[in-house]
Amino acid sequence: MLASRQAQEAGGAIFVADCAICHGADGEGNGPRREGLIPRPANLRLPPWSEPANAGGTFLAIRNGVHGTAMPAWPSLADEQIWQVVAYITSLTR
């Protein structure tokens, strides 16, 4: 699924709607809501987030959130939608 253009496009739409506010449209962690967040939102274009080998970890970070950060859990997203976002994130550096 990670290499699927259709999954990447669907994930990109979800990313723009839900993630870009913090992570920025380009995924570099430079979204408008980043100000005041400690730690700052992750740059998703860098490892481990950008690595397909870490796709499971990225999935879990989206599903469960990241403790000690402002990254919330996203229980409103179905597993397929999360995998689409992961596909989009891993496509950012290709």
Q: What is the CATH number of the domain that holds 25?
A: 1.10.760.10
> Taking the model in full, what pTM does it have?
0.94
Rounded Cα distance, 22 and 42, in Å:
9
38-42: long-range pairs with CB below 8 Å, 24+? 39/68, 39/69, 41/70, 41/71, 42/71
Q: Which domain holds residue 49?
A: 5-91
The predicted-structure confidence for 28-51, as pLDDT tens digits, reads as follows: 999 999 988 999 999 999 999 999
**Which is more confidently placed, 68 or 93?**
68
pLDDT band of residue 93 (cuts 50, 70, 90) is confident
Mean pLDDT for 64-69 is: 96
Number of domains in the chain: 1
